[in-house]
Structure 1
């Protein structure tokens, strides 16, 4: 049984919702799944005044535990076309793991959200994937075998580089069924890939 970590940062709850759908997909493939988040680095007063979702139930991850997993799937919203500082700060602390090659050969993936359809989803995914490649990880995206991302019938996230959702300018749009299906699909595919490599 492969061990999969869903590691996320979510400001308003959109990525948190996606993370649990990714986790359901990984569990459907028979993986042992852990969902954790990175620490909030914004001052509490600012986070509260901006209405950050601070009551998330997922425990806080540590960099030291990352080698314990066969696959790590990272999710975070975009900040001006790249990952936010909270996730970047967490990954920046993993230099010791990089130096030891502790994550070489593990499976990685990424998912994200943006306010608009053209708000930098693919660039944000690549900002995550770039880190994972530097760690020596094997990347699994959201292939077009997930046909839902090709729809023209509704606003939908999705990219061959990872599952996505569109949150709206005020955070008013939560992940649709189609967006969650994409996250589930990617989680399942990553867990299956990790199982093949570990098996």
Structure 2
């Protein structure tokens, strides 16, 4: 029996996309997991993206399909990735989730596994508040929240600057966006993807 895992993300300069790929890699390591990578629609005008340099960065993952809200119920588990904006999820992800009211009314996501990863420019730029506030929306949908347990000991490292918390994997981009996810951060993302897929498989098997 297969388990469908959707990794749904928004990325402007590629940091979250790189983390999303690592999450998907980890999920694919679970036997029977069918993993798909999706991105949510962009809201920023093309000319603004070009001036900021984001248009060129986004070209690297332009092949990733854009998801519709009505596709979410197809998955057994959904792992969301979004950068922080002032301690909350970015507007693109918020706008996407705000379109899931019809799914909420039908209880279409109740019992599905939900998990989140994020990025910030600085070490204390709102990673935990973004992950925790994101969980609120998933709980309203009746999803089963899965984080990053301390069995993933990489989140406790003091040997280097690194993201990662019990609420989910994360990365630090630097003020100018020049820092891409470290191997430690990518390893945590892989762990999270694998962990979520394993739990989703168990829940799906129990439901049968």
Instruction: Give me the TM-score of the superposition, normalised by structure 1.
Output: 0.99
* 1:23-62 equivalence runs, <5 A: 23-30=24-31, 31-52=33-54, 53-55=57-59, 56=61, 57-62=63-68
Contact 1:78–1:84 (8 Å) recurs in 2? yes
Give the paired residue count. Answer: 199
- Find the aligned partners of 1:106 and 1:135 in 2 and give their Cα distance: 9
Deviation (angstroms), 1:47:
1.0
Residue 134 (structure 2) pairs with residue 128 (structure 1): yes
- Find the aligned partners of 1:44 and 1:121 in 2 and give their Cα distance: 28
Q: Partner of 2:98 in structure 1? A: 92
Deviation (angstroms), 1:139:
0.6
Instruction: Give me the TM-score of the superposition, normalised by structure 2.
Output: 0.94
- Find the aligned partners of 2:35 and 2:145 in 1 and give their Cα distance: 18
Contact 1:74–1:128 (8 Å) recurs in 2? no
Deviation (angstroms), 1:128:
1.6
Deviation track 1:74-121 (CA, whole Å, cap 9, x = no partner) reads: 001000110011000000000000000000000000000000110000
- RMSD, aligned α-carbons: 0.6
Deviation (angstroms), 1:21:
0.2
Contact 2:117–2:168 (8 Å) recurs in 1? yes
- Find the aligned partners of 2:16 and 2:58 in 1 and give their Cα distance: 13
**Aligned partner (choices 164, 167, 173) of residue 167 of structure 1:** 173
Residue 144 (structure 2) pairs with residue 143 (structure 1): no
